[in-house]
Structure 1
Amino acid sequence: MASAITTLAADAPTLSAANTGFMLICSALVMLMTPGLAFFYGGMVRVKSSLNMLMMSFISLGIVTILWVLYGFSLAFGTDSGSLIGWNSDYVGLSGIGITELWDGYTIPVYVFAVFQLMFAVITPALISGALADRVKFGAWVLFTALWVTVVYFPVAHWVWGAGGWLFELGVIDFAGGTAVHINAGAAALGVILVIGKRVGFKKDPMRPHSLPLVMLGAGLLWFGWFGFNAGSWLGNDDGVGAVMFVNTQVATAAAMLAWLGYEKLRHGSFTTLGAASGAVAGLVAITPSGGAVSPLGAIAIGVIAGVLCAMAVGLKYKFGYDDSLDVIGVHLVGGVAGSLLVGLFATGGVQSDVAGLFYGGGLEQLGKQAIGVFAVLAYSLVASALLAFLLDKTIGMRVSEDDEVAGIDQVEHAETAYDFSGAGGGAASRTTAAPTPSAASKKVDA
């Protein structure tokens, strides 16, 4: 018996300074994705809505952080109850956790795992906001975010990643959040916009991005931060799986960007910067669930498929009449579904696990599991999100008035505007004021 105890003690994980440092860096990278998303969305809307769009992402850093500490981590990753939810009183307030206490089976502290997963919880409701641009009261959005993460995100995170969660136990592969993050957010966006309706002028007025440079900056920050999002989800760097995921993240994103641009050129005749940014995000979304199970060649295939499918999907809002302002459904829902299902085709059985997809001799079993995960999360998030939006709309109201929407939600909700031109000079008033004939010196300066 003594020798058995000695063996077990020797085999028990010990805190790894390298993995701990790596995961703290990954956590910071994922945190950066939320401001990156704010820039990405903020540049895509009209000037009069840009600050509101920035705030709808940024506020998630405040709300979700506090709720995660109070009870979110416990609900998502506490001891399983009925395969649907978790709970651990030691995790409430993060007050019963030792500073060197390790996350079960890993070499990183519980605190590190908790803060890494916090950043996932923060960005997921922020993703939803892009579908609701121009028309939602900020106070209603704050309350919706708090309710949504409690009722939808925390339980779904437990289903997918929590020990005992029913999708986890079923064997659904979601390396870094295809179901829990992207399908969850995309389905929620659809549920909410079906309740609150379209923007004033949808399909009639031009609603072009006001700052494509901001969009490209946001996309670049997302791409950069996504390496932490994906590679960090292996919770360590000892066996090379995280490195494969890092490579696949880059490869799939590049392939999706090129595929989107190719489709765009054939369909519309131009290569656009918005298409490049959107294609990159589509590739990042699709490789998130699948990148730990496929080879780099599989990542290329997944990126190409996602790039084309998402480029096609963004136009469906005009065909079916739902106003997905910034294509959250077309990119995150469709990209998440594609990436999650393609695991069942392209999984090699030689990376994160020995599970092989159809193209590698594994048959249809894994594809079936992936489909169950996809449609379970989609259905739950869609219905629950629509109900939350309906309740808020009937009580405090979700939308600003039509007049306020036309005037600009930034001024109405935040009493600010994104750009102040009052001190720039050269306005209409100065042009109508008679000026003295300039001297030769002033002409030289003006020239």
Structure 2
Amino acid sequence: MAPAITLAAEAPKLSAANTGFMLICSALVMLMTPGLAFFYGGMVRVKSTLNMLMMSFISLGIVTILWVLYGFSMAFGTDSGSLIGWNSDWVGLGNIGLTELWPGYTIPVFVFLVFQLMFAIITPALISGALADRVKFSAWALFVALWATVVYFPVAHWVWGTGGWAFELGVIDFAGGTAVHINAGAAALGVILVIGKRVGFKRDPMRPHSLPLVMLGAGLLWFGWFGFNAGSWLGNDDGVGALMFVNTQVATAAAMLAWLAYEKIRHGAFTTLGAASGAVAGLVAITPAGGAVTPLGAIAVGVIAGVLCAMAVGLKYKFGYDDSLDVVGVHLVGGVVGSLLIGFFASGKGQSEVEGLFYGGGLTQFWKQCAGVFAVLAYSLIVSALLAFILDKTMGMRVTEDDEVAGIDQAEHAETAYDFSGAGGGAAKTAAVAAAVAGAESKKVDA
């Protein structure tokens, strides 16, 4: 009998379907940053609206250039010491073939790197919501560049890069619970502890100036998050991305309802701000967990995150840190909750065979999740605070008190979000016409 012939495994081939799917997902994630800008922009007072929009938009510019120059290489290049990556061929992205595939997948390297770029863009933008009303725009832009370099790029390698310590440990983070949300939330806390409170914190009303903008932003975030989450499987061949899509919708709905229920019981009303915030809390919590849990598990994750995040946003008044737009309460707490609950609700029927405590797997995965969560939290908190401290002592992080009170939009951007001069002119003209008509009527009566 002739010896058996063993065929080598067929190498992956470029999939036009997966490539197109991932390009669409990348565009959806890009849309999330303008969506975040609207979400945050509506939550601040009128005098800070443009500044809040710009703090998100500038990340689109800065992080994109850094990603091309060295960010992609640092995050996903050849591992060094399980802490950072590097690939000189990726510096400037000039030595990547058009059809060169990302290892083990059916999409080009260019598609993978642009998808991950959109994650890198939105993460520092998330931090900005905690700093509303009081940070110099130039200082913020420099902070974004420094933070992306020394915090985001290394942490992304830890969590998703081959050889990264969290990746090798088996920490599950489907789409960014640690690398994005805990990372940004901890950074926000670190910076606000350095720069201090807004003028009038706890004393002056600081209500959202446009709840319709907040709802628009939340809707865009919800829409874009399907690309953020489902796309993180990097293909659409085995149903895991579809599971993540379903769980994203389910957990977000559950969290929104849970937040509103808590709000009604605690404060006596169902608010639109609560609905928007609850939805975002659910999106944050399901981001790390959605590929590992069932839809029923997603409901549990959403409900728990909705209630705990609603409770957490009030902690700033108790402990005295001025988290302007609840980045700590929603993103840090939501990211921690979603990441740790994997240790309880992982079903073993999604992205891997890992089972959580409630499915007979014990606490092994929970302790792995704890390692990833608290390492990222501590690193981001400490390094972000140090960066803010250095910038504050050199160029100054905050605008002057007079500029803050008068309005950071005019001080930093020489613009205002709304021009009321036209409305005023119209009102004055209408009043003048009304006066003329009244005068004419009076003359008729006298005649």
TM-score (norm 1): 0.96
Aligned residues: 438
User: In structure 2, do the counterparts of structure 1 residues 365 and 46 end up closer, same or farther at CA, with 3 Å as the change threshold?
Assistant: same
Runs of 4 or more off by more than 4 Å in structure 1? 3-6, 426-434, 438-441
Q: Counterpart in 2 of 1:36? A: 35
Deviation at 1:435, TM superposition (A): 2.6
Percent of matched pairs sharing the same residue: 86
Deviation at 1:90, TM superposition (A): 1.1
Amino acid at match of 1:168: F
CA distance in 2, matches of 1:226, 1:61: 17
CA distance in 2, matches of 1:434, 1:272: 40
- Could you list the per-position Cα deviations for residues 154-189 of structure 1 after superposition, in whole angstroms to 9, with x for gaps in the alignment? 000000000000000000000000000000000000
Return 5+ residue gaps in structure 1 as ranges. Answer: 442-447
Amino acid at match of 1:307: G
- Could you list the per-position Cα deviations for residues 1-38 of structure 1 after superposition, in whole angstroms to 9, with x for gaps in the alignment? xx999833x52100000000000000000000000000
Q: Counterpart in 2 of 1:258? A: 257
- Could you list the per-position Cα deviations for residues 212-269 of structure 1 after superposition, in whole angstroms to 9, with x for gaps in the alignment? 0000000000000000000000000000000000000000000000000000000000
CA distance in 2, matches of 1:168, 1:370: 11
Amino acid at match of 2:212: P
CA distance in 2, matches of 1:429, 1:305: 55
Q: Counterpart in 1 of 2:445? A: none
1:161-240 mapped onto 2 (5 Å cutoff): 161-240=160-239
The answer on 1:150 being equivalent to 2:142 is: no
Q: Counterpart in 2 of 1:444? A: none
Q: Counterpart in 2 of 1:129? A: 128
Deviation at 1:354, TM superposition (A): 0.4
Are the equivalent residues in 2 in contact too, given 1:135–1:409 (CA < 8 A)?
Answer: yes
CA distance in 2, matches of 1:4, 1:86: 42
3-state SS in 1 of match to 2:91: helix
Amino acid at match of 2:330: V
Q: Counterpart in 2 of 1:19? A: 18
CA distance in 2, matches of 1:113, 1:416: 38
- Could you list the per-position Cα deviations for residues 402-430 of structure 1 after superposition, in whole angstroms to 9, with x for gaps in the alignment? 00000000000000000001012355797
Q: Counterpart in 2 of 1:7? A: 7
User: In structure 2, do the counterparts of structure 1 residues 429 and 95 end up closer, same or farther at CA, with 3 Å as the change threshold?
Assistant: same
User: In structure 2, do the counterparts of structure 1 residues 402 and 113 end up closer, same or farther at CA, with 3 Å as the change threshold?
Assistant: same
Amino acid at match of 1:104: P
CA distance in 2, matches of 1:295, 1:327: 29
Amino acid at match of 2:324: S
Q: Counterpart in 2 of 1:435? A: 435
3-state SS in 2 of match to 1:7: coil
User: In structure 2, do the counterparts of structure 1 residues 431 and 205 end up closer, same or farther at CA, with 3 Å as the change threshold?
Assistant: farther
What's the C-alpha RMSD, in Å, of the aligned pairs?
A: 1.7
User: In structure 2, do the counterparts of structure 1 residues 195 and 428 end up closer, same or farther at CA, with 3 Å as the change threshold?
Assistant: farther
1:300-319 mapped onto 2 (5 Å cutoff): 300-319=299-318
Q: Counterpart in 2 of 1:298? A: 297
Amino acid at match of 1:291: G
Deviation at 1:437, TM superposition (A): 2.5
Are the equivalent residues in 2 in contact too, given 1:53–1:133 (CA < 8 A)?
Answer: yes
1:26-425 mapped onto 2 (5 Å cutoff): 26-424=25-423, 425=425
CA distance in 1, matches of 2:350, 2:293: 7
Return 5+ residue gaps in structure 2 as ranges. Answer: 442-447
